Amino acid sequence: MFSEALNWVLQHPADFEVALYRHLVMSALAMLIAIAVGVPLAAFVVRSQKAASIVIGTANALRTIPSLAILALAMPLMGIGLGPSVVALTILALPPVLINSFVGLRDADPAAVEAATCIGMSRMQTMLKIRFPLAYPAIFSGMRTATIQVLSGATLAPFIGGGGLGDFVATGISAMNFSRLLVGAVPIAALALASDLVFSVTERIAFRGKHS
What tens digit of pLDDT does each residue of 118-164 get?
888 888 888 888 889 889 989 999 999 999 999 998 998 888 888 89
Closest C-alpha among 138, 152, 156 to residue 194: 152
pLDDT of residue 89: 92
The residue that leads in pLDDT, 138 or 74, is 138
Average pLDDT of 13-26? 93
pLDDT of residue 210: 56
Straight-line distance from the first to the last Cα atom of the chain, in angstroms, rounded to the nearest whole number: 49
Kindly report the pTM of this predicted structure: 0.88
Domain 2-211 adopts which CATH fold? MetI-like fold (1.10.3720)
Q: How far apart are CA 32 and CA 48, in angstroms?
A: 25
- Average pLDDT score, the chain: 88
pLDDT of residue 120: 82
pLDDT of residue 34: 96
At 170-188, the pLDDT tens digits run 888 888 888 889 999 999 9
The residue type at 93: A
Among the residue ranges 41-55, 66-80, 190-204, the one predicted with the least confidence is 66-80
CB neighbours of 4 closer than 8 A, spacing ≥ 6? 179
